[in-house]
């Protein structure tokens, strides 16, 4: 039986992160119900230095899985080179961590998770790796062309907006293709690939568009990735909750039904949907156990993050005006 690894960056402090422990409890409750712990070779939790002890304590509730908590600071000292608040986007920070996964993961393939994901149907490693390739969810690139254009600029390739491309988390990536992307960025820009991405904080590159475009450039997509065949479920449910107003209409009965498609769904964390509301929606379909946890809410940090977002928007607008 093949195994797959997983990577899950976690923050508990900041604008959208105060309930991330509770979201992880939902995620791991769903994994217990729909998959066996030995599906995974290793599940790496990557945590900021000042949150490691706290998250390690909470992670004991998930210790039936092969959990390893990683201190981000031991590997990402390069973040310190970008000390201005607007230079470090938490969104980009987590994407860099995901692309760095080959340093911690030994299996060829790894499942990328966020705390706001959860499983909706039974699976094992063979389900996620049909024919030994990564099950992949696609959508047209022209739905969100700015991500593809920004990544193509960094890789010096054509974004090929008329084609399909990989969709958002959860996703399954190849360590070989991640390492290839790292090498390509360093070859094009002549410096550490992480520094390349950090220095381009004002444009909307993403880990998945970078990964996909580089694999496409090398002609390796079909070797490492597969779309679902007849009788196979897709990686994503037909519908997730990306906006708060969609939550009431989202039907658990429909998406958990045996005849429904998709192995995972998302209730996006930045919607500010109360965690208890999510639990109430999901608990009829699998047992959910949420441990007591401390919610970190810092008005000063929230204000700093809002400033950062506004500053970056201004820089992006300036870049567009300059052409």
pLDDT band at 266 (very low <50, low <70, confident <90, very high): very high
Instruction: Evaluate if residue 251 carries a pLDDT over 80.
Output: yes
Q: Say if residues 41 and 4 touch (Cβ distance below 8 Å).
A: yes
Helices marked H in 84-192: 90-99, 125-128, 145-155, 175-189
Instruction: Evaluate if residue 306 carries a pLDDT over 80.
Output: no
Residue among 213, 274, 227, 216 nearest 247 (CA): 274
pLDDT of residue 316: 55
Sign of CA dihedral 48, 23, 39, 215: negative
Q: Kindly report the average pLDDT of the chain as a whole number.
A: 92
- 184-197 burial, b at 16+ Cβ within 10 Å, e below that, comes to bbeeebeeebbebb
First to last CA, the chain: 52
Average pLDDT over residues 166-193: 98
Out of 59-63, 78-82, 127-131, 241-245, least confident range: 78-82
* 202-220 per-position pLDDT tens digit: 899 999 999 999 999 999 9
Which residue range(s) make up the domain with 167?
Answer: 4-322
- pTM of the predicted model as reported, rounded to 2 decimal places: 0.92
Domains: count for the chain: 1
**C-alpha to C-alpha distance for 7 and 59, rounded to whole angstroms:** 14
% of the chain beyond a pLDDT of 90: 84
Tell me the longest C-alpha to C-alpha distance in the chain: 54
* 20-43 per-position pLDDT tens digit: 999 999 999 999 999 988 899 999
pLDDT of residue 312: 46
- 273-308 burial, b at 16+ Cβ within 10 Å, e below that, comes to bebeebbebbeebbebebeebeebeeeeeeeebeeb
**C-alpha to C-alpha distance for 223 and 114, rounded to whole angstroms:** 26
Write the CATH number for 309: 3.90.550
């Amino acid at each position: 039986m093949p195994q797959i690894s997983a990577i899950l960056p976690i923050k508990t402090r900041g604008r959208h992160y105060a309930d991330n422990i509770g979201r992880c409890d939902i995620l791991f409750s769903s994994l217990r119900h729909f998959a066996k712990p030995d599906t995974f070779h290793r599940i790496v939790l990557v945590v900021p230095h000042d949150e490691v002890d706290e998250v390690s304590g909470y992670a004991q509730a998930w210790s039936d899985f092969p959990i390893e908590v990683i201190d981000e600071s031991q590997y990402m000292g390069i973040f310190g080179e970008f000390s201005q608040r607007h230079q470090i986007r938490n969104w980009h920070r987590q994407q860099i961590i995901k692309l760095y996964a080959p340093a911690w993961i030994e299996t060829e393939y790894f499942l990328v998770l966020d705390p706001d994901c959860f499983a909706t149907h039974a699976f094992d490693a063979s389900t996620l790796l049909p024919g030994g390739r990564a099950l992949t969810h696609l959508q047209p690139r022209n739905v969100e062309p700015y991500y593809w254009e920004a990544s193509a600029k960094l890789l010096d390739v054509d974004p090929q907006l008329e084609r399909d491309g990989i969709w958002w988390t959860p996703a399954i990536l190849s360590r070989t293709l991640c390492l290839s992307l790292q090498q390509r960025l360093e070859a094009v820009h002549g410096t550490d690939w992480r520094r390349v991405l950090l220095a381009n904080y004002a444009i909307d590159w993403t880990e998945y568009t970078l990964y996909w475009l580089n694999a496409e450039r090398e002609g390796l997509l079909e070797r490492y990735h597969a779309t679902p065949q007849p009788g196979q479920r897709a990686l994503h449910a037909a519908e997730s909750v990306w906006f708060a107003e969609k939550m009431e209409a989202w039907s658990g009965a429909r998406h958990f039904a045996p005849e429904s498609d998709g192995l995972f769904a998302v209730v996006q964390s930045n919607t500010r949907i109360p965690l208890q509301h999510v639990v109430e929606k999901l608990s009829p379909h699998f047992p959910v156990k949420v441990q007591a946890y401390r919610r970190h809410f810092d008005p000063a940090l929230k204000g700093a993050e809002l400033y950062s977002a506004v500053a970056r928007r201004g820089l992006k607008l300036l870049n567009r005006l300059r052409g």
